[in-house]
Structure 1
Amino acid sequence: MKWFDRLFKKGEDGTRVELWYVVIILALGVIIFTFANKNITESEVDNIQPSIDTVNTSKTISYEERLESRLEDTISNIHGVGKVDILLTIESSKEIVLNKDVPSGESIMEEKDSSGGSRNSTDKTQSEETVLTNNPDGSSEPIVLKETMPIVQGVLILAENGDDPIVKETLTNAAVILLDIPAHKVQVVKMK
Protein backbone atom coordinates (compact mmCIF):
# COMPACT_ATOMS: atom_id res chain seq x y z
CA MET A 1 0.00 0.00 0.00
CA LYS A 2 3.02 2.28 0.26
CA TRP A 3 3.18 2.68 -3.51
CA PHE A 4 -0.53 3.56 -3.60
CA ASP A 5 -0.09 6.22 -0.92
CA ARG A 6 3.00 7.57 -2.67
CA LEU A 7 1.11 7.70 -5.97
CA PHE A 8 -1.43 10.15 -4.60
CA LYS A 9 0.98 12.06 -2.37
CA LYS A 10 1.43 15.69 -3.29
CA GLY A 11 4.83 16.96 -4.32
CA GLU A 12 6.60 19.97 -2.86
CA ASP A 13 4.79 22.37 -5.20
CA GLY A 14 1.37 20.79 -4.54
CA THR A 15 1.11 18.61 -7.69
CA ARG A 16 0.89 14.86 -7.88
CA VAL A 17 4.08 13.98 -9.74
CA GLU A 18 3.72 10.20 -9.79
CA LEU A 19 0.12 10.47 -11.00
CA TRP A 20 1.35 12.23 -14.16
CA TYR A 21 3.67 9.30 -14.85
CA VAL A 22 0.73 6.92 -14.62
CA VAL A 23 -1.37 9.10 -16.92
CA ILE A 24 1.43 9.28 -19.49
CA ILE A 25 1.99 5.51 -19.37
CA LEU A 26 -1.75 4.86 -19.78
CA ALA A 27 -1.94 7.29 -22.73
CA LEU A 28 1.00 5.53 -24.42
CA GLY A 29 -0.71 2.19 -23.83
CA VAL A 30 -3.93 3.43 -25.44
CA ILE A 31 -2.00 4.77 -28.45
CA ILE A 32 -0.10 1.49 -28.92
CA PHE A 33 -3.32 -0.52 -28.56
CA THR A 34 -5.07 1.68 -31.14
CA PHE A 35 -2.32 1.25 -33.73
CA ALA A 36 -2.00 -2.47 -33.06
CA ASN A 37 -5.75 -2.91 -33.46
CA LYS A 38 -5.70 -0.85 -36.68
CA ASN A 39 -2.98 -3.08 -38.18
CA ILE A 40 -4.95 -6.20 -37.34
CA THR A 41 -8.02 -4.74 -38.97
CA GLU A 42 -6.10 -3.92 -42.17
CA SER A 43 -4.65 -7.44 -42.34
CA GLU A 44 -8.10 -8.90 -41.78
CA VAL A 45 -9.40 -6.84 -44.71
CA ASP A 46 -6.56 -8.19 -46.88
CA ASN A 47 -7.59 -11.72 -45.92
CA ILE A 48 -11.27 -11.08 -46.61
CA GLN A 49 -10.77 -9.83 -50.19
CA PRO A 50 -9.43 -13.15 -51.57
CA SER A 51 -12.31 -15.01 -49.93
CA ILE A 52 -14.81 -12.75 -51.74
CA ASP A 53 -13.19 -13.63 -55.08
CA THR A 54 -13.30 -17.30 -54.09
CA VAL A 55 -17.01 -17.09 -53.34
CA ASN A 56 -17.72 -15.57 -56.78
CA THR A 57 -15.59 -18.22 -58.49
CA SER A 58 -17.19 -21.04 -56.52
CA LYS A 59 -20.67 -19.90 -57.61
CA THR A 60 -19.58 -20.27 -61.24
CA ILE A 61 -18.01 -23.65 -60.50
CA SER A 62 -21.10 -24.86 -58.69
CA TYR A 63 -23.25 -23.88 -61.70
CA GLU A 64 -20.86 -25.80 -63.97
CA GLU A 65 -20.83 -28.84 -61.68
CA ARG A 66 -24.61 -28.78 -61.29
CA LEU A 67 -25.06 -28.68 -65.07
CA GLU A 68 -22.56 -31.52 -65.54
CA SER A 69 -24.39 -33.61 -62.94
CA ARG A 70 -27.80 -33.03 -64.55
CA LEU A 71 -26.41 -33.96 -67.97
CA GLU A 72 -24.78 -37.12 -66.59
CA ASP A 73 -28.06 -38.18 -64.97
CA THR A 74 -30.04 -37.52 -68.16
CA ILE A 75 -27.59 -38.99 -70.67
CA SER A 76 -26.85 -42.12 -68.61
CA ASN A 77 -30.56 -43.02 -68.93
CA ILE A 78 -30.32 -43.24 -72.74
CA HIS A 79 -30.52 -46.88 -73.90
CA GLY A 80 -27.14 -48.44 -74.73
CA VAL A 81 -24.99 -45.63 -73.36
CA GLY A 82 -23.93 -47.11 -70.03
CA LYS A 83 -22.01 -45.10 -67.46
CA VAL A 84 -21.02 -41.54 -68.45
CA ASP A 85 -18.79 -38.77 -67.18
CA ILE A 86 -19.16 -35.24 -68.56
CA LEU A 87 -16.76 -32.31 -68.59
CA LEU A 88 -17.95 -28.82 -69.57
CA THR A 89 -15.93 -25.73 -70.37
CA ILE A 90 -17.58 -22.43 -69.55
CA GLU A 91 -16.82 -19.41 -71.75
CA SER A 92 -18.02 -16.62 -69.50
CA SER A 93 -19.46 -16.03 -66.08
CA LYS A 94 -22.98 -15.03 -65.07
CA GLU A 95 -24.00 -11.54 -66.15
CA ILE A 96 -26.50 -9.40 -64.24
CA VAL A 97 -28.08 -6.32 -65.85
CA LEU A 98 -29.45 -3.80 -63.34
CA ASN A 99 -32.22 -1.26 -63.90
CA LYS A 100 -30.74 2.24 -64.30
CA ASP A 101 -32.44 5.62 -64.12
CA VAL A 102 -30.81 7.88 -66.71
CA PRO A 103 -32.26 11.40 -66.50
CA SER A 104 -30.94 13.86 -69.05
CA GLY A 105 -31.49 17.50 -69.82
CA GLU A 106 -30.57 20.04 -72.43
CA SER A 107 -30.58 23.81 -72.32
CA ILE A 108 -29.93 26.08 -75.28
CA MET A 109 -28.86 29.67 -74.73
CA GLU A 110 -28.91 32.24 -77.53
CA GLU A 111 -27.07 35.51 -77.00
CA LYS A 112 -27.19 38.58 -79.23
CA ASP A 113 -24.84 41.49 -78.92
CA SER A 114 -25.43 45.15 -79.85
CA SER A 115 -23.56 44.90 -83.16
CA GLY A 116 -25.97 42.25 -84.49
CA GLY A 117 -23.85 39.15 -83.83
CA SER A 118 -25.26 36.09 -82.09
CA ARG A 119 -23.89 33.14 -80.22
CA ASN A 120 -25.60 29.85 -79.34
CA SER A 121 -24.49 27.60 -76.51
CA THR A 122 -25.91 24.20 -75.66
CA ASP A 123 -25.57 22.56 -72.26
CA LYS A 124 -26.39 18.84 -72.02
CA THR A 125 -26.51 16.95 -68.72
CA GLN A 126 -26.93 13.25 -68.11
CA SER A 127 -26.58 11.13 -64.99
CA GLU A 128 -27.00 7.47 -64.22
CA GLU A 129 -28.34 5.99 -61.02
CA THR A 130 -29.18 2.38 -60.11
CA VAL A 131 -32.86 1.89 -59.26
CA LEU A 132 -33.32 0.33 -55.80
CA THR A 133 -36.30 -1.37 -54.22
CA ASN A 134 -36.98 -1.36 -50.48
CA ASN A 135 -37.44 -4.67 -48.70
CA PRO A 136 -39.81 -5.19 -45.75
CA ASP A 137 -36.80 -5.53 -43.42
CA GLY A 138 -35.67 -1.98 -44.28
CA SER A 139 -32.78 -2.92 -46.57
CA SER A 140 -32.66 -1.98 -50.23
CA GLU A 141 -31.44 -3.91 -53.25
CA PRO A 142 -31.10 -3.14 -56.96
CA ILE A 143 -33.78 -4.15 -59.43
CA VAL A 144 -32.43 -6.85 -61.76
CA LEU A 145 -33.64 -6.60 -65.36
CA LYS A 146 -31.88 -9.65 -66.73
CA GLU A 147 -29.60 -12.47 -65.60
CA THR A 148 -27.58 -14.30 -68.22
CA MET A 149 -26.19 -17.65 -67.12
CA PRO A 150 -22.63 -18.69 -68.07
CA ILE A 151 -22.16 -19.76 -71.69
CA VAL A 152 -21.06 -23.33 -72.41
CA GLN A 153 -18.11 -23.36 -74.78
CA GLY A 154 -17.66 -27.11 -75.25
CA VAL A 155 -18.43 -30.54 -73.81
CA LEU A 156 -16.52 -33.80 -73.50
CA ILE A 157 -18.61 -36.93 -72.90
CA LEU A 158 -16.88 -40.07 -71.66
CA ALA A 159 -19.20 -43.05 -72.13
CA GLU A 160 -18.83 -46.80 -71.56
CA ASN A 161 -20.08 -47.46 -75.08
CA GLY A 162 -18.58 -44.29 -76.57
CA ASP A 163 -16.92 -46.22 -79.42
CA ASP A 164 -20.30 -47.31 -80.86
CA PRO A 165 -21.16 -44.93 -83.75
CA ILE A 166 -24.90 -44.94 -82.94
CA VAL A 167 -24.25 -44.10 -79.28
CA LYS A 168 -21.75 -41.40 -80.34
CA GLU A 169 -24.30 -39.78 -82.68
CA THR A 170 -27.07 -40.00 -80.07
CA LEU A 171 -24.92 -38.40 -77.37
CA THR A 172 -23.71 -35.66 -79.71
CA ASN A 173 -27.29 -34.83 -80.73
CA ALA A 174 -28.42 -34.82 -77.08
CA ALA A 175 -25.62 -32.44 -76.08
CA VAL A 176 -26.33 -30.14 -79.05
CA ILE A 177 -30.01 -29.94 -78.12
CA LEU A 178 -29.59 -29.64 -74.34
CA LEU A 179 -26.71 -27.13 -74.36
CA ASP A 180 -27.59 -25.23 -77.55
CA ILE A 181 -24.05 -25.53 -78.93
CA PRO A 182 -22.87 -26.63 -82.39
CA ALA A 183 -21.96 -30.30 -82.92
CA HIS A 184 -18.28 -29.51 -83.54
CA LYS A 185 -18.01 -28.41 -79.89
CA VAL A 186 -19.12 -31.84 -78.62
CA GLN A 187 -16.67 -34.74 -78.32
CA VAL A 188 -17.77 -38.28 -77.36
CA VAL A 189 -15.10 -40.84 -76.40
CA LYS A 190 -15.04 -44.33 -74.91
CA MET A 191 -14.48 -44.55 -71.17
CA LYS A 192 -11.65 -46.76 -69.82
Structure 2
Amino acid sequence: MILLLLGVLLTVIALPVSNKTDSSSTEEKSRPFFTDASYEEQTAQRSLLEEKLEELLSQVEGVGKVRVVLMTGEQKDSSSFYSSGNQAVTGVLIAAEGADNSVVSRNIVEAVMALFQVEAHKIKVMKMK
Protein backbone atom coordinates (compact mmCIF):
# COMPACT_ATOMS: atom_id res chain seq x y z
CA MET A 1 0.00 0.00 0.00
CA ILE A 2 2.84 2.39 0.88
CA LEU A 3 4.61 1.56 -2.39
CA LEU A 4 1.41 2.29 -4.31
CA LEU A 5 1.02 5.69 -2.63
CA LEU A 6 4.70 6.44 -3.19
CA GLY A 7 4.29 5.59 -6.90
CA VAL A 8 1.27 7.91 -7.20
CA LEU A 9 3.17 10.69 -5.41
CA LEU A 10 6.15 10.35 -7.74
CA THR A 11 3.84 10.38 -10.77
CA VAL A 12 2.15 13.59 -9.59
CA ILE A 13 5.50 15.23 -8.91
CA ALA A 14 6.77 14.28 -12.37
CA LEU A 15 3.80 15.89 -14.18
CA PRO A 16 4.68 19.23 -15.81
CA VAL A 17 3.15 22.30 -14.25
CA SER A 18 1.92 24.95 -16.68
CA ASN A 19 1.71 28.63 -15.88
CA LYS A 20 -1.87 29.75 -16.53
CA THR A 21 -1.04 33.40 -17.33
CA ASP A 22 -2.38 35.03 -20.46
CA SER A 23 -0.10 33.61 -23.12
CA SER A 24 -1.35 35.93 -25.87
CA SER A 25 -0.02 39.05 -24.12
CA THR A 26 3.30 37.31 -23.48
CA GLU A 27 3.57 36.34 -27.13
CA GLU A 28 2.84 39.92 -28.23
CA LYS A 29 5.56 41.33 -26.01
CA SER A 30 8.12 38.78 -27.09
CA ARG A 31 7.46 39.18 -30.79
CA PRO A 32 10.41 41.04 -32.34
CA PHE A 33 9.99 43.87 -34.83
CA PHE A 34 13.29 43.09 -36.49
CA THR A 35 14.30 39.68 -37.75
CA ASP A 36 17.77 38.15 -37.66
CA ALA A 37 19.64 40.38 -40.06
CA SER A 38 22.89 42.23 -40.46
CA TYR A 39 23.47 45.52 -38.66
CA GLU A 40 22.94 47.48 -41.89
CA GLU A 41 19.61 45.76 -42.55
CA GLN A 42 18.46 46.38 -38.98
CA THR A 43 19.42 50.04 -39.26
CA ALA A 44 17.51 50.33 -42.54
CA GLN A 45 14.45 48.65 -41.00
CA ARG A 46 14.59 50.99 -37.98
CA SER A 47 14.90 54.05 -40.26
CA LEU A 48 11.92 52.91 -42.30
CA LEU A 49 9.82 52.48 -39.15
CA GLU A 50 10.88 55.93 -37.94
CA GLU A 51 9.87 57.50 -41.26
CA LYS A 52 6.50 55.73 -41.27
CA LEU A 53 5.78 56.80 -37.70
CA GLU A 54 6.79 60.40 -38.50
CA GLU A 55 4.49 60.42 -41.51
CA LEU A 56 1.60 58.95 -39.54
CA LEU A 57 1.94 61.27 -36.55
CA SER A 58 2.31 64.37 -38.72
CA GLN A 59 -1.15 63.63 -40.15
CA VAL A 60 -2.76 63.71 -36.69
CA GLU A 61 -4.55 66.92 -35.76
CA GLY A 62 -2.47 69.22 -33.58
CA VAL A 63 0.80 67.30 -33.84
CA GLY A 64 2.51 69.30 -36.59
CA LYS A 65 6.05 68.47 -37.68
CA VAL A 66 7.51 65.37 -36.05
CA ARG A 67 10.91 63.70 -35.62
CA VAL A 68 11.15 60.16 -34.26
CA VAL A 69 14.06 58.14 -32.88
CA LEU A 70 13.52 54.46 -32.13
CA MET A 71 15.82 52.65 -29.72
CA THR A 72 16.17 48.96 -30.30
CA GLY A 73 17.65 46.23 -28.22
CA GLU A 74 18.12 42.53 -28.26
CA GLN A 75 14.88 40.67 -27.65
CA LYS A 76 15.34 37.72 -25.33
CA ASP A 77 12.98 34.88 -26.11
CA SER A 78 11.65 33.64 -22.78
CA SER A 79 11.02 30.17 -24.18
CA SER A 80 14.66 29.56 -25.08
CA PHE A 81 17.89 29.30 -23.13
CA TYR A 82 19.87 31.51 -25.48
CA SER A 83 19.65 34.97 -26.97
CA SER A 84 17.96 34.85 -30.34
CA GLY A 85 19.60 38.00 -31.68
CA ASN A 86 16.26 39.50 -32.70
CA GLN A 87 15.80 43.24 -32.27
CA ALA A 88 12.72 44.89 -30.78
CA VAL A 89 11.75 48.50 -30.06
CA THR A 90 12.79 49.26 -26.47
CA GLY A 91 12.30 53.03 -26.37
CA VAL A 92 10.94 55.92 -28.42
CA LEU A 93 11.88 59.60 -28.47
CA ILE A 94 9.52 61.96 -30.30
CA ALA A 95 9.90 65.69 -30.94
CA ALA A 96 6.64 67.27 -32.12
CA GLU A 97 5.52 70.85 -32.66
CA GLY A 98 2.24 70.23 -30.85
CA ALA A 99 3.73 68.41 -27.86
CA ASP A 100 3.02 71.37 -25.55
CA ASN A 101 -0.67 70.38 -25.69
CA SER A 102 -1.19 67.63 -23.11
CA VAL A 103 -3.98 65.96 -25.12
CA VAL A 104 -1.81 65.79 -28.24
CA SER A 105 1.14 64.51 -26.23
CA ARG A 106 -0.97 61.80 -24.58
CA ASN A 107 -2.40 60.75 -27.96
CA ILE A 108 1.13 60.36 -29.31
CA VAL A 109 2.16 58.21 -26.33
CA GLU A 110 -0.94 56.01 -26.65
CA ALA A 111 -0.38 55.55 -30.39
CA VAL A 112 3.23 54.46 -29.85
CA MET A 113 2.18 52.12 -27.03
CA ALA A 114 -0.37 50.50 -29.33
CA LEU A 115 2.04 50.15 -32.25
CA PHE A 116 5.11 48.83 -30.48
CA GLN A 117 3.85 47.36 -27.18
CA VAL A 118 6.25 49.69 -25.34
CA GLU A 119 5.40 50.88 -21.82
CA ALA A 120 4.61 54.57 -21.37
CA HIS A 121 7.72 55.22 -19.29
CA LYS A 122 9.85 54.19 -22.29
CA ILE A 123 8.30 56.85 -24.52
CA LYS A 124 9.37 60.50 -24.33
CA VAL A 125 7.48 63.23 -26.19
CA MET A 126 9.15 66.64 -26.37
CA LYS A 127 8.17 70.02 -27.81
CA MET A 128 9.92 70.80 -31.09
CA LYS A 129 11.10 74.40 -31.48
TM-score band (shorter)?
0.5 to 0.7
CA distance in 1, matches of 2:85, 2:115: 17
CA distance in 2, matches of 1:60, 1:158: 23
Query: Runs in 1 of length 4+ with deviation above 6 angstroms?
Result: none
Aligned counterparts of 2:117 and 2:85: Cα–Cα separation in 1: 14
Query: Aligned residues: percent identity?
Result: 34
TM-score under structure 1 normalisation? Answer: 0.42
1:129-171 superposed Cα distances (whole Å, 9 cap, x missing partner): xxxxxxxxxxxxxxxxxx9962001000100011111111000
| Aligned-CA RMSD value | 2.2
CA distance 1:181–1:64, change in 2 (3 Å): same
One-letter code aligned to 1:59: E
1:151 corresponding residue in structure 2: 88
Aligned to 2:43: 61
> Mapping of 1:130-149 within 5 angstroms?
none
TM-score (norm 2): 0.61
Asked if structure 1 preserves the Cα contact closer than 8 Å seen for 2:100 and 2:127, the reply is yes
Which structure has the greater CA radius of gyration? 1
Q: Partner amino acid for 1:77?
A: Q
**Shift of the alpha carbon at 1:56?**
1.8
CA distance in 1, matches of 2:98, 2:118: 23
Higher helix share: 2
For structure 1, list consecutive stretches of 5 or more residues without a partner in the other structure. Answer: 1-54, 96-146
Q: How many residues align?
A: 86
User: Which structure carries more strand by proportion?
Assistant: 1
